[in-house]
Copies of this chain bind each other. A is one copy, B any other.
Amino acid sequence: MSTAARPESFTRTARRAQIVGCAIEVIAEVGYPQASIRKIADRVGIAMSAVLYHFGSKDNLVDAIVEHMYRSMLAIVVPAVDAESTAAGKLDAYIRSTIGYFRTHRVALVALTSTATSFQPGDGRRVEELGLSDELAEQLARLDPLAILQAGQRAGEFGEFPAESMAIALRGAVNAVVEKILRDPGYDARGYGEDLVEIFGRAVGGSR
């Protein structure tokens, strides 16, 4: 009677996932401000009030969406970085896996971008704090390349450079591909990734 996973939970979870998925699609297509609950419900094929039944409010739905997108990104990048043992390996893995995620998740990307810059929550919270449980926030910190750069410098693997600025530049350079991908779906993002590996591999100097 009280097994860990109650059967009711499945229906609930599936519907929520379905709604989140459709919401991401709709946001990607028409932009967050135009992505009304009604349009999202229409895409799922249920009544608008059913969406609110499951999430209570649009803010909560956005929470779920943001969490979903962060988790899907984490699921790709973190294992890739962890699989490497050297700082240089981790750096390359960070660049390749992040851009890989961007390549394979165009829709989610558009949605996240639009949501992040348009969303204004009812309470005073920032977008970055939405739907971020402590556990999730902790994992997200691992996506910051600054840690990798500093570890590489401490280990003597990398040369000398302003680590913080380098991290910001790196993130900017990596994220810049999003805009390119969105504008030109045929863009060779993988090639850009390899170029970045080369460029930043040299910039951090180091072993060789």
Contact = CB atoms under 8 A, between A and B. Distances in A.
Contacts of A130: none
Interface string A168-208: 11111111110010000000000110011011001100000
Nearest to A175: B172
B120 A30 contact: yes
Number of copies: 4
B168 A120 contact: no
Contact of A114 (B117, B166, B202): B117
For chain A, what secondary structure do more than half of its interface residues adopt (helix, strand, loop), or is it mixed? helix
Interface string A119-142: 110000000000000000000000
A158 interface: no
A118 interface: yes
Interface of A: 30-34, 113-114, 116-120, 161-162, 165-166, 168-177, 180, 191-192, 195-196, 198-199, 202-203
